[in-house]
Amino acid sequence: MGLLFRGIVWFSVYVLLVLLPLALAMLGDPIAAARPWSLEFAVAGGFIAYAIIAFEFALVSRLRAASEPFGTDSLLQFHAQMGVAGMLFLLLHVLLLLPHAASASMFNPFAGGVAARSGALAFWALLILGVTSAGRSRLRLRYETWQWVHASAALLVGGSALVHILAVGHYASRTALRVILIVYALAFVALLLRYRIIRPLRLARLPWEVVSNTDVGGDTRSLVVRPVDHPGLRFQPGQFVWLATGARPLTAQQHPITIASSAEPDEAHHIELAIKAFGDWSGNVVPQLHAGARVWLDGPYGALTPDRFPGQGFVLIAGGIGITPMLSILRTMRDRDDVRPVVLIYAANRPERMVFRDELTALQSELNLRIVLVYESPPPDWRGEQGLVTTELLRRHLPKQYKRFQYFVCGPAQMMDLLEDELLEVGVPAAQICTERFNMG
Ligand X SMILES: Cc1cc2nc3c(=O)[nH]c(=O)nc-3n(C[C@H](O)[C@H](O)[C@H](O)COP(=O)(O)OP(=O)(O)OC[C@H]3O[C@@H](n4cnc5c(N)ncnc54)[C@H](O)[C@@H]3O)c2cc1C
Least CB distance from residue 150 to ligand X, whole Å?
11
Question: Is residue 203 classed as helix, strand or coil in its secondary structure?
Answer: helix
Residue number with CB closer to ligand X (39 or 134): 134
Q: Which residues bind ligand X (CB under 6 A)?
A: 72, 143, 240, 254-258, 274-276, 278-283, 302, 321, 324, 436, 438-441
Least CB distance from residue 59 to ligand X, whole Å?
15
Element at 381 (helix H, strand E)? none
Residue number with CB closer to ligand X (180 or 191): 191
CA-closest candidate to residue 78, choices 6, 14, 145, 132: 14
Residue number with CB closer to ligand X (133 or 324): 324
Q: DSSP for 161-192, please give it.
A: HHHHHHHH-GGGGSHHHHHHHHHHHHHHHHHH
The angle formed by the CA atoms of residues 33, 35 and 38, to the nearest 5 degrees, is 165
Least CB distance from residue 10 to ligand X, whole Å?
20
Least CB distance from residue 391 to ligand X, whole Å?
26
Q: Dump strand ranges (E) for 246-402.
A: 253-258, 271-276, 294-301, 314-319, 342-348, 369-375, 385-386
CA distances from 377 to 19, 345, 347 (A): 51, 16, 10
Cα 127 to its chain centre, rounded Å, is: 22
Per the document, the length of the chain is: 441
Q: DSSP for 142-153, please give it.
A: -HHHHHHHHHHH
Question: Is residue 59 classed as helix, strand or coil in its secondary structure?
Answer: helix
| 435 Cβ contact list (under 8 Å, min separation 6) | 73, 304, 408, 409, 410, 416, 419, 420
Least CB distance from residue 279 to ligand X, whole Å?
2
Least CB distance from residue 307 to ligand X, whole Å?
16
**Residues 90 and 126 sit within 8 Å (Cβ to Cβ):** yes
Q: Helix 37-59 vs helix 72-97: angle between axes, to the nearest 10 degrees?
A: 160
Residue number with CB closer to ligand X (211 or 216): 216
Amino acid at 23: A
Residue number with CB closer to ligand X (159 or 256): 256
Residue number with CB closer to ligand X (236 or 282): 282
Amino acid at 106: M
User: Closest residue to ligand X, Cβ-based?
Assistant: 279
Distance CA 407, CA 312 (A): 11
Least CB distance from residue 200 to ligand X, whole Å?
14
Residue number with CB closer to ligand X (107 or 146): 146
CA-closest candidate to residue 358, choices 327, 320, 325, 379: 327
Distance CA 28, CA 41 (A): 16
Residue number with CB closer to ligand X (96 or 416): 416
Least CB distance from residue 94 to ligand X, whole Å?
31
Amino acid at 110: F
Least CB distance from residue 148 to ligand X, whole Å?
11
Least CB distance from residue 240 to ligand X, whole Å?
4
Least CB distance from residue 283 to ligand X, whole Å?
6
Residue number with CB closer to ligand X (72 or 160): 72
Residue number with CB closer to ligand X (105 or 439): 439
Residue number with CB closer to ligand X (171 or 240): 240
**Residues 436 and 72 sit within 8 Å (Cβ to Cβ):** yes
Distance CA 262, CA 202 (A): 25
**Residues 403 and 427 sit within 8 Å (Cβ to Cβ):** yes
Distance CA 34, CA 215 (A): 71
